[in-house]
């Protein structure tokens, strides 16, 4: 078990080197650069050259990259070229927002996806199954930004039930010791704030969770259908166990293995979906931060932000792998 | 097994609780759908929430050049001279009056008395000179053109010249002297009048010397990427000026909160809002960054914000049709033009340039692609600016006249021209460059030209090519920064530029001299005449054809009043009230 974890953590080094190199080269291949982005259309060639010289962007790319890797080795991510703040500071401010949003979206997907798939499998080929298929297909094929606009139009603009932008009403003031606003509200014992933050999470979570929900529902359905025909299920039924007990203790439990894999894989999807969702909902997380950075050719932020997200995805997948052992004793990892 | 199911059940319960909590509070006043103005407590002036496109960079005026920073700085700080609301006319600010020496180099500013900074310290001539000397003595990365763009635009270089910085060598600024408590004399190295209008810009805001020092405004380090990283907290937590609002808090990505400054100068018991009634009417002003245009519009519709700027042309009808919302026009302060490189044959012949001018259906383009907010431009600066001449040569669309001019020039139609337009850009003066190009191209073909289309991404390719003088005929434009003709025709034509081919051609030499003289002239009436004459000459020589001025739009809820849109986007929220 420990050896497995250590091996996976060591694998992080080549993964991160690869990601950093890719991002480093890719953003430099984009037209324009931080100097032209900062100076805008008033840039004179001399000013751009001077700025590029100051940023070291006039040096060969391998020199820039080796300098960057040396800086990374000391866990420095540099300074944002637009806000002039440390990238690590900005990650600390921004990441909790994305975590809250991703967890809310993930929960939404799991809580509605698994029952939907399960019920569909139980009513295989029936109208419920077909309805669930249609819902899933709509969920998978609707672009996030479109769904977000519709949700906002209906629930914010028309009905006025839910807010359309941000993490919290601007009129509420609470201290932010953790930057996890739900947690901050609890710490401040401000329940109005807690309710307000929760409301701000609902629409983005639905928009972001819709695709994972559909995928989880489909996988759950297929997995349950598979397991249902296994001998041990038939044995359990033959033993006279209550259908409920069979469903929960034998079918769903064994069907959870592929489902949990899929849930783990969704984390990457959720983080990439957060880019769009956060932009549309003006949700100040990592996603909207990276979009702004790409527009401004803010190299330190793009490099640091993408690297950070890569680390998170790797860690979550590691956790998912470890969870297999918990779900299925046959593949305990120490063996 | 039961215990393990519980692992899934727990988050489920938590999430359901969360949803229940969310739905349960449906009538709570702090949701969307409720105007922020209705939910405030406090002094009765209310709160205004303004949707900005982005966070400011920093709140130290001299070190920023972006519009979102300026918008906030304009509320906290004031400048020696200000703009009359809604215009580009210079009027007294922190200086009550001023005069220039006969040679136009020494400018004496008589300062307003009894003005206090928000930290309680006195505003006086020493404070003014402290600020100017701070700027002039910037070193290292502060001389970086992205850090002190406007200082370098108006004043040029610094006390010490660093060839690596990219900043110019010579400075217009010489010294600042506090001759008494309320008199500051700013001395320039050469005569300039344009600098006075430049002083209305937020970069030249007068800040509290004590706050600048206490909170380390100039402290910082340069990181491995060469980017300056401030270590002081002045520009993020303690910006301190004399303006009607004072800084309260800033959570990046979330909100920036300003409170009404109760000690605003001129406030008396019978005039509680201060001098000229320009003290703030609202108690609190909150800027909320929303980068996405559609999201800003929806937030206005739900009442989560009370107003926003930079309204997209396609959203204007939606806002106009909604009786709870209103659109305000920002006076046009931009110009879109078809530029020529007048040293590239056949454009070195004025007759060919005139033929192109007559061949451009400018009215058609403005009518079709500016959503009713554009007007045809007659010269290279907006009509609201002094120095605009009514009697310049005009070139109304006339294809027959074009062909005739081409023949007079000894050319046989169709005459081939290389016409460039940019992609990946939308500007107020040019909402959709491709459409403008297509319409112009069609009208030019009627007028005896054979248009060869060329295109490049706006930045850096297109702008780079035009700077290098590689484009023969091209679409470009300009949005002004401050109310002086030098910021329009001065920028284009005062010095030879490759873009216009004026580095090789000498047709514009007289105009250049005239613009140089006009910049130095201190007599306002004479300056106006000189710029009018320059406009007449420019439109006769025709180094390009200006075709559009466009009015950008600002949106508010219908219950917001008192906002006076400024042509240059410098407007105080002090006069705004809600409800």
CATH number at residue B411: 3.10.105.10
Q: How many domains does chain B have?
A: 2
Instruction: Tell me which of B266 and B356 has the higher pLDDT.
Output: B356
Q: What pLDDT shows up at residue B143?
A: 85
B55 touches chain A (CB under 8 A): yes
Chain B residues lying within 8 Å of A39, measured CB to CB:
145-146, 149
Q: Which of B232, B252, B268 is the last residue of a domain?
A: B232
B538-553 per-position pLDDT tens digit = 999 999 999 999 998 8
Chain A residues lying within 8 Å of B19, measured CB to CB:
198, 202
**B153 inside domain:** yes
B282-326 per-position pLDDT tens digit = 999 999 999 888 899 999 999 999 999 888 888 888 999 999 999
Three-state helix/strand/coil letters over chain A: CHHHHHHHHHHHHHHHHHHHHHHHHHHHHCCCCHHHHHHHHHCCHHHHHHHHHHCCCCCCHHHHHHHHHHHHHCCCCCECCCCCCEHHHHHHHHHHHHHHHHHHHHHHHHHHHHHHHHHHHHCCCCHHHHHHHHHHHHHHHCCHHHHHHHHHHHHHHHCCCCCCCCCCCCCCCCCCCCCCHHHHHHHCCCHHHHHHHHHHHHHHHHHHHHHHHHHHHHHHHHHHHHHHCCHHHHHHHHCCCCHHHHHHHHHHHHHHHHHHHHHHHHHHHHHHHHHHHHHHCCCCCHHHHHHHHHHCCCHHHHHHHHHHHHHHHHHHHHHHHHHHHHHCHHHCCCC
Nearest to B36 among A79, A171, A326 (CB): A171
**Averaged over B181-197, what is the pLDDT?**
90
Q: What pLDDT shows up at residue B535?
A: 96
Tokens of residue B231, six digits: 């270590």
For chain B, give the mean pLDDT. Answer: 86
**pTM across the whole model:** 0.83
| Distance of alpha carbon B125 from alpha carbon B95, whole angstroms | 10
Nearest to B30 among A176, A192, A284 (CB): A192
| Distance of alpha carbon B283 from alpha carbon A61, whole angstroms | 52
What pLDDT band is residue B126 in, cutting at 50, 70 and 90?
A: very high
CB contact under 8 A, A50 and B166: yes
**Averaged over B372-395, what is the pLDDT?**
93
B56-79 per-position pLDDT tens digit = 888 999 988 888 899 999 999 999
Q: What pLDDT shows up at residue B534?
A: 96
**B45 inside domain:** no
B12-62 per-position pLDDT tens digit = 444 444 443 433 333 333 333 334 443 333 345 789 999 998 888 889 999
Q: Are residues B372 and B228 in the same domain?
A: no
- Nearest of B386, B568, B550 to residue B477 by alpha carbon: B550
Q: What pLDDT shows up at residue B278?
A: 56
**B308 inside domain:** no
**Averaged over B267-281, what is the pLDDT?**
57
Question: Which residues are CB-contacts of A141 (< 8 A; sequence separation ≥ 6)?
Answer: none
Q: Are residues B206 and B340 in the same domain?
A: no
**Averaged over B367-371, what is the pLDDT?**
87
Q: What pLDDT shows up at residue A331?
A: 60
Choice among A9-18, B416-425, B554-563 with the minimum mean pLDDT? A9-18
Question: What domain range is B450 assigned to?
Answer: 334-550
- Residue B460 above 80 pLDDT? no
- Residue B530 above 80 pLDDT? yes
ipTM, 2 decimals? 0.85
CB contact under 8 A, B33 and A176: no
In DSSP terms, which residues pair with B245 in a beta bridge? Answer: B260
**Averaged over B463-484, what is the pLDDT?**
88
Q: What pLDDT shows up at residue B162?
A: 84
B140 touches chain A (CB under 8 A): no
**B115 inside domain:** yes
Q: What pLDDT shows up at residue B4?
A: 42
- Residue B560 above 90 pLDDT? yes
Nearest to A166 among B18, B288, B301 (CB): B288
Q: Are residues B339 and B228 in the same domain?
A: no
- Nearest chain B residue to A37 by CA distance is B459
Q: What pLDDT shows up at residue B16?
A: 40
| DSSP reduced 3-state for B245 | strand
Q: Are residues B216 and B343 in the same domain?
A: no
Choice among A12-21, B7-16, B332-341 with the minimum mean pLDDT? B7-16
Whether residue B152 contacts residue B162, with contact meaning beta carbons closer than 8 Å, is answered with: no
Taking one residue from A and the other from B, the number of pairs with CB-CB distance under 8 angstroms is 236
**B285 inside domain:** no
Q: What pLDDT shows up at residue A332?
A: 55
A9-66 per-position pLDDT tens digit = 888 888 888 988 998 888 888 767 777 777 766 666 677 777 777 777 888 888 888 8
Q: What pLDDT shows up at residue B20?
A: 39
**Averaged over B210-215, what is the pLDDT?**
94
Q: What pLDDT shows up at residue B23?
A: 39
**Portion 267-306 of A in contact with B at CB < 8 A:** 279-282, 284, 288-289, 291-292, 299-300
Nearest Cα of chain B lies from the Cα of A328 at a distance, in angstroms, of 12
**B578 inside domain:** no
Q: What pLDDT shows up at residue B267?
A: 55
Chain A residues lying within 8 Å of B12, measured CB to CB:
107, 110-111
**B446 inside domain:** yes
Q: Are residues B363 and B503 in the same domain?
A: yes
Q: Are residues B346 and B482 in the same domain?
A: yes
**B30 inside domain:** no
**Averaged over B456-469, what is the pLDDT?**
80
Instruction: Tell me which of B176 and B6 has the higher pLDDT.
Output: B176
Q: Are residues B228 and B347 in the same domain?
A: no
- Nearest chain B residue to A288 by CA distance is B291
Q: Which of B209, B232, B255 is the last residue of a domain?
A: B232
Q: Are residues B224 and B348 in the same domain?
A: no
Residue spans of chain A under pLDDT 70: 1, 31, 40-45, 325, 327-335
Nearest to B291 among A176, A279, A300 (CB): A279
CATH number at residue B205: 3.90.76.10
Q: Which of B232, B263, B291 is the last residue of a domain?
A: B232
């Amino acid at each position: 078990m420990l050896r497995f974890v250590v091996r996976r953590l060591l694998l992080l080094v080549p993964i991160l080197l690869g990601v950093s190199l890719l991002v480093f080269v890719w953003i430099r291949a984009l037209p324009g650069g931080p100097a032209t982005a900062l100076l805008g259309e008033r840039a004179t060639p001399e000013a751009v050259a001077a700025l590029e010289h100051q940023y070291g962007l006039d040096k060969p790319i391998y020199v820039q990259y080796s300098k960057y890797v040396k800086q990374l080795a000391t866990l420095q991510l540099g300074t944002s070229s637009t806000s002039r703040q440390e990238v690590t500071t900005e990650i600390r401010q921004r990441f909790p927002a994305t975590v809250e949003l991703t967890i809310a979206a993930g929960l939404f997907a799991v809580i509605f996806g698994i029952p939907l798939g399960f019920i569909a499998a139980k009513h295989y080929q029936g109208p419920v199954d077909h309805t669930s298929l249609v819902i899933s297909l709509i969920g998978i094929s609707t672009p996030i930004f479109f769904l977000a606009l519709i949700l906002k139009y209906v629930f914010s603009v028309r009905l006025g039930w839910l807010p359309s932008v941000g993490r919290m009403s601007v009129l509420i003031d609470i201290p932010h010791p953790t930057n996890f606003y739900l947690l901050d509200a609890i710490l401040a014992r401000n329940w109005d704030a807690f309710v307000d933050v929760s409301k701000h999470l609902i629409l983005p979570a639905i928009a972001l969770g819709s695709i994972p929900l559909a995928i989880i529902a489909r996988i759950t359905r297929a997995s349950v259908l598979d397991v249902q025909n296994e001998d041990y299920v038939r044995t359990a039924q033959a033993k006279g166990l209550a259908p409920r007990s069979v469903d929960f203790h034998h079918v769903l439990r064994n069907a959870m293995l592929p489902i949990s894999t899929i849930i783990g894989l969704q984390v990457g999807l959720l983080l990439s979906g957060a880019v769009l969702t956060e932009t549309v909902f003006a949700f100040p997380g990592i996603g909207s931060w990276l979009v702004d950075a790409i527009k401004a050719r803010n190299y330190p932020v793009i490099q640091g932000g993408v690297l950070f997200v890569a680390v998170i995805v790797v860690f979550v997948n590691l956790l998912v792998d470890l969870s297999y052992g918990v779900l299925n004793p046959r593949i305990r990892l120490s063996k | 097994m039961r215990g393990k199911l519980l692992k899934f059940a727990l988050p489920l319960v938590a999430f359901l609780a969360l949803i229940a909590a969310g739905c349960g509070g449906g009538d709570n006043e702090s949701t969307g759908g409720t105007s922020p103005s209705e939910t405030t407590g406090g002094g009765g002036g209310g709160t205004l929430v303004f949707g900005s496109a982005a966070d400011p960079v920093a709140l130290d005026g001299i070190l920023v050049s972006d519009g979102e920073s300026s918008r906030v700085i304009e509320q906290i700080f004031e400048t020696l001279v200000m703009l009359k609301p809604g215009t580009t006319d210079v009027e007294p600010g922190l200086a009550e009056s001023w005069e220039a020496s006969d040679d136009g180099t020494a400018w004496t500013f008589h300062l307003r008395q009894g003005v206090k900074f928000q930290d309680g310290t006195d505003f006086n001539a020493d404070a003014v000179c402290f600020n100017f000397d701070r700027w002039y003595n910037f070193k290292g990365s502060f001389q970086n053109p992205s850090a002190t763009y406007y200082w370098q635009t108006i004043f040029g270089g610094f006390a010490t010249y660093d060839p690596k910085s990219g900043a110019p060598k010579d400075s217009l600024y010489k010294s600042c002297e506090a001759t008494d408590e309320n008199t500051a004399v700013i001395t320039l190295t050469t005569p300039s009048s344009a600098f006075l209008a430049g002083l209305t810009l937020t970069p030249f805001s007068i800040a509290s010397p004590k706050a600048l020092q206490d909170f380390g405004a100039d402290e910082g380090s340069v990181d491995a990427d060469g980017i300056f990283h401030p270590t002081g907290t002045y520009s993020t937590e303690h910006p301190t000026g004399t303006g009607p609002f004072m800084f309260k808090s800033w959570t990046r990505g979330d909100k920036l909160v300003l409170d009404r400054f109760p000690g605003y100068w001129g406030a008396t018991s019978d005039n509680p809002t201060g001098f000229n009634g320009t003290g703030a009417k609202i108690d609190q002003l909150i800027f909320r960054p929303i980068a996405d245009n559609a999201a800003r519009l929806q937030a206005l519709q739900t009442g989560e914000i009370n107003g926003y700027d930079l309204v997209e042309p396609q959203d204007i009808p939606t806002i106009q049709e909604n009786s709870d919302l209103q659109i305000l026009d920002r006076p046009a302060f931009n110009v879109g033009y078809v530029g020529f490189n007048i040293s590239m044959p056949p454009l070195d012949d004025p007759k060919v340039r005139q033929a192109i001018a007559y061949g451009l259906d400018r009215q058609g383009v403005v009518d079709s692609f500016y959503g009713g907010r554009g007007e045809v431009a007659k010269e290279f600066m907006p009509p609201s600016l002094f120095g605009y001449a009514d009697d310049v040569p005009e070139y109304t669309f006339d294809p027959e006249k074009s062909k005739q001019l081409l023949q007079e020039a000894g050319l046989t139609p169709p005459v081939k021209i290389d016409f460039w337009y940019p992609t990946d850009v939308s500007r107020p003066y040019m909402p959709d460059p491709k459409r403008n190009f297509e319409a112009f191209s069609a009208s030019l073909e009627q007028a005896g030209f054979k248009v060869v289309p060329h295109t490049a991404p706006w930045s850096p390719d297109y702008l780079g090519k035009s700077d290098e003088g590689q484009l023969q005929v091209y679409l470009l434009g300009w949005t002004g920064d401050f109310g002086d003709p030098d910021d329009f025709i001065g920028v284009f034509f005062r010095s030879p530029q490759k873009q216009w081919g004026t580095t090789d051609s000498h047709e514009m030499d007289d105009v250049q001299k005239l613009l140089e003289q006009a910049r130095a002239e201190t007599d306002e009436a004479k300056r106006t005449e000189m710029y009018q004459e320059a406009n007449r000459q420019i439109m006769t020589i025709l180094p390009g054809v200006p075709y559009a001025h466009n009015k950008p739009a600002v949106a508010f809820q219908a219950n917001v009043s008192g906002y006076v849109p400024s042509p240059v986007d410098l407007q105080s929220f002090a006069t705004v009230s809600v409800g």
